Chains A and B, each alone.
Chain A
Amino acid sequence: MERILFGDNQFFAVNHISDEKSRAQAIKFKDDSAIIKVLDDAMAAGINTFMCTTHDRIANICDVIRDNPKKYKDFKIYPCMPYAHKYANAVTELGIVGTLKQYVPGNFFGSLFKGGVAYINKDFISIMELLVDAEMKMFKGINTPVIFLQNVITDLLLGLGMNELLIAFAKHVESKYNAEAGFITMNLPKLLSVLEEGGIKNPIICASINKVNFRMSGGKELYEEVLKQGRCRVIAMQVLGGGAIPPKEALEYVANLPNVESILFGASSKQNIQNTVETIKYHDNQRVLVE
């Protein structure tokens, strides 16, 4: 994985501290061309990996990437699935079974119903695989070396003790897409133990890691301890602590943590992208000098 990954929250009005900012972002990125422009700015700053949710609009971005193979030949996407609000709103409206009927592709689910509910159970992993395949459709022909499960699903399964499904996701992603599975979580220490018990060694985990203990369940000290052990390949996200830490200070902290392979950030302007990249590079260079 590259040291710096570019995220997509800013494109889809995801802002953890301000509804006002989130509306401003929705207006700014109303047209797909505005997203492409920022992605190009990121590429110009040397970032070639875009980590994004499987939002409907990403399908349009994928079209642009496919239409310009030369320009995007080194460009990689790390899909993060699912786009949770799509399913959450559907569950409110249609219930759990209704949602599955709507989103599991083809007649699979319908025929299972006709065949009786008894063997839906046995085939639940197949249903999960079909949902993954449906989400992956938009990325056809695009380089997706790591495929992530979004934190709301990772952590839901983690809490429910459905460890088998987490492992099944990893296996499916590997066998069908020749990709590595990644897991986004707000509960890194707990998740890591579960993945290790399931036989996944050195997993890719993307977690909230920041100086102010924001969304680091179990606490910052525990996270720092786990990082020291080097048992997983970590992507640090929410490094600004939801906006609570000045960027320079935030990046200095996270760039100097041991075993953080990549840093994920999102920005809407060329200037912010360049500043962030330069700051991370500066701290990386300082660290090399010290070591």
Chain B
Amino acid sequence: MLKVALIGAGKMGISHLSILGAHPDVEIVGVCDTSKIVSDVLEKYSGFSCYTDYLKMVDTTKPDAVFVAVPTKFHYKMVKDLLDRNIHVFSEKPFCLNPTESNELFLLAKKKGLVNQVGYHNKFVGTFQEVKKLVKEGFIGEPQHFLGEAYGPVVIKKKSETWRSDPNEGGGCLMDYASHVIDLINDILSPINSCKGAMLKSIYSKQVDDAVYALVGIESGTTGVISVNWSDETYRKMSTSVTIIGSKGKIVSDANELKVYFKSDEHPKGYSKGWNVKYVTDLTEEVNFYLRGEEYSSQIDYFVKAVQGEVPNTVNTFESAWKTDLSISIIKNNSK
């Protein structure tokens, strides 16, 4: 059994905890949260040992791995403390407030040979995995243009402030929402390393951006558009999509549906010339425990297997999350 602890039992933390709780190879040895009510409920009804001091928790419970699901501004210090204690780490996204911090953590994890993963769950979504495969294997030819989008109803009125509305804590649409799209583009094509112009707009929030519109370039030289708005109430929940236009075809995909057009007969097996539609249901492996999308269970399962040495630690590594932080900072700097 792998001994796992959690720091931060908020929305993502509780979700991770439930999936970990149902995982046959995992024993939850401790949960750290500053909210007394959350700790009380978890202790009473789940029987977890709860702590308010994460160092005390890890020194007492000696976990093999820790999940960090606290506001981004705390990631750097906590993850560093954990790596220093030779503990494998799964961190929520976005990784750090700036790329200098994430780079240091990536190098430290690498030096120590510890398993490291960040919660960009879209990489475990069947449609996006297939998009990456189609692009990397050259089936749509040379990418000419891309569009990364995400829309959803997170902030749809002026309202009370939380850490997500504080730019110093990692809040705002660019950090919290657009980071998913940026990370996907970085992974499917190549990392965003230039920005020709960006607008960070506030719609309802006082201190942070609610929408991000940017013209960006990637390492390979291709350019594209990022368009993200978390104040769009026409969406029931977050909807993330990528469009990639290539010399041999075009892909339009969200988390549910992948549409791909091949200009010629050069297409992979199972596809044909012209438009093809694949659904996530055809591209998804069943999970052992389902909570809120296969990808949330799969990413945890992958991390657990990586710690057990059964899979390589190559998806959503600190290194890829550092590059995403770098892309975020490039966009941010160009919006000023």
From residue B261, how far is it (CB to closest CB) to chain A in Å?
Answer: 16
- Give the residue of B15, B154, B287 whose beta carbon is less than 8 angstroms from that of A217: B287
From residue A231, how far is it (CB to closest CB) to chain B in Å?
Answer: 20
Q: Which residues of A contact B20 (CB under 8 A)?
A: 159
**Given the known A-B contacts A17-B280, A89-B153, are A124 and B45 also in contact in the complex, defined by CB atoms under 8 Å?**
yes
Pair B289/A187 contact, Cβ less than 8 Å: yes
CA–CA, A202 to B309, complex, Å?
42
Instruction: Give residues in A with beta carbon < 8 Å to B.
Output: 12-20, 22-23, 26, 85, 88-89, 91-98, 117, 120-121, 124, 152, 155-162, 164-165, 186-187, 190, 212-219, 241-244
Does B256 touch A at the CB level, under 8 Å?
A: yes
Q: Which residues of A contact B11 (CB under 8 A)?
A: 88, 91-92, 96
**Given the known A-B contacts A19-B254, A93-B155, A164-B45, are A159 and B36 also in contact in the complex, defined by CB atoms under 8 Å?**
no
Does B271 touch A at the CB level, under 8 Å?
A: no
**Given the known A-B contacts A161-B47, A164-B45, are A85 and B237 also in contact in the complex, defined by CB atoms under 8 Å?**
yes
Listed from nearest, the 7 A-B pairs whose CB atoms lie closest are: A159-B18, A186-B290, A121-B40, A242-B281, A162-B45, A159-B22, A17-B279
From residue A290, how far is it (CB to closest CB) to chain B in Å?
Answer: 31
Q: Which residues of B contact A242 (CB under 8 A)?
A: 279-281
Among A18, A20, A92, A120, which residue has the most Cβ atoms of chain B within 10 A?
A92
**Binary interface profile of B, 131-160, with partner A (CB < 8 Å = 1, else 0)?**
000000000000000000000011100011
Pair A165/B35 contact, Cβ less than 8 Å: no
Q: Which residues of B contact A215 (CB under 8 A)?
A: 286, 290
Pair A160/B45 contact, Cβ less than 8 Å: yes
Among A17, A20, A120, A152, which residue has the most Cβ atoms of chain B within 10 A?
A17
Pair B45/A97 contact, Cβ less than 8 Å: no
Q: Which residues of B contact A91 (CB under 8 A)?
A: 10-11
**Binary interface profile of B, 18-51, with partner A (CB < 8 Å = 1, else 0)?**
1111100000000000011110111011110000
- Give the residue of A12, A16, A88, A156 whose beta carbon is less than 8 angstroms from that of B18: A156
CA–CA, A274 to B145, complex, Å?
46
Q: Which residue of B has the minimal Cβ distance to A215?
A: B290
Q: Which residue of A has the minimal Cβ distance to B282?
A: A244
**Given the known A-B contacts A13-B236, A91-B11, A164-B45, are A159 and B289 also in contact in the complex, defined by CB atoms under 8 Å?**
yes
Pair B290/A95 contact, Cβ less than 8 Å: no
Pair A217/B237 contact, Cβ less than 8 Å: no
CA–CA, A26 to B155, complex, Å?
20
Does B257 touch A at the CB level, under 8 Å?
A: yes
**Given the known A-B contacts A12-B236, A244-B279, are A219 and B17 also in contact in the complex, defined by CB atoms under 8 Å?**
no
Does B292 touch A at the CB level, under 8 Å?
A: yes
**What are 9 of the A-B contact pairs (CB < 8 Å)?**
A15-B256, A97-B35, A124-B41, A160-B42, A160-B45, A190-B289, A217-B286, A217-B289, A242-B280
CA–CA, A159 to B296, complex, Å?
13
Pair B239/A19 contact, Cβ less than 8 Å: yes
Q: Which residue of B has the minimal Cβ distance to A210?
A: B281
Q: Which residues of A contact B286 (CB under 8 A)?
A: 213, 215-217, 219
**Given the known A-B contacts A96-B10, A159-B19, are A19 and B256 also in contact in the complex, defined by CB atoms under 8 Å?**
yes
CA–CA, A92 to B40, complex, Å?
21
Q: Given A152-B291, A156-B291, 4 more contacts at CB 8 Å?
A: A20-B257, A121-B44, A155-B291, A164-B45
Does B288 touch A at the CB level, under 8 Å?
A: yes
Interface of chain B: mostly helix, strand, loop or mixed:
mixed
Pair B281/A243 contact, Cβ less than 8 Å: yes
Pair B37/A117 contact, Cβ less than 8 Å: yes
From residue B65, how far is it (CB to closest CB) to chain A in Å?
Answer: 17
Pair B281/A17 contact, Cβ less than 8 Å: yes
Pair A89/B154 contact, Cβ less than 8 Å: yes
Pair B257/A94 contact, Cβ less than 8 Å: no
Does B267 touch A at the CB level, under 8 Å?
A: no
Q: Which residues of A contact B46 (CB under 8 A)?
A: 160-162
Q: Which residues of B contact A19 (CB under 8 A)?
A: 239, 241, 254, 256-257
Pair A92/B164 contact, Cβ less than 8 Å: yes
Among B19, B41, B241, B290, which residue has the most Cβ atoms of chain A within 10 A?
B290
- Give the residue of B37, B236, B241 whose beta carbon is less than 8 angstroms from that of A121: B37
CA–CA, A72 to B227, complex, Å?
47
Q: Which residues of B contact A15 (CB under 8 A)?
A: 256
CA–CA, A26 to B279, complex, Å?
20
Q: Which residues of A contact B47 (CB under 8 A)?
A: 161
CA–CA, A14 to B18, complex, Å?
24
Q: Which residues of A contact B19 (CB under 8 A)?
A: 159
CA–CA, A91 to B41, complex, Å?
16
From residue A201, how far is it (CB to closest CB) to chain B in Å?
Answer: 23
Q: Which residues of B contact A23 (CB under 8 A)?
A: 234
**Binary interface profile of B, 186-199, with partner A (CB < 8 Å = 1, else 0)?**
00000000000000
Q: Which residues of B contact A14 (CB under 8 A)?
A: 236
From residue A211, how far is it (CB to closest CB) to chain B in Å?
Answer: 12
**Given the known A-B contacts A16-B256, A96-B38, A152-B291, are A244 and B44 also in contact in the complex, defined by CB atoms under 8 Å?**
no
CA–CA, A95 to B34, complex, Å?
12
From residue A262, how far is it (CB to closest CB) to chain B in Å?
Answer: 21
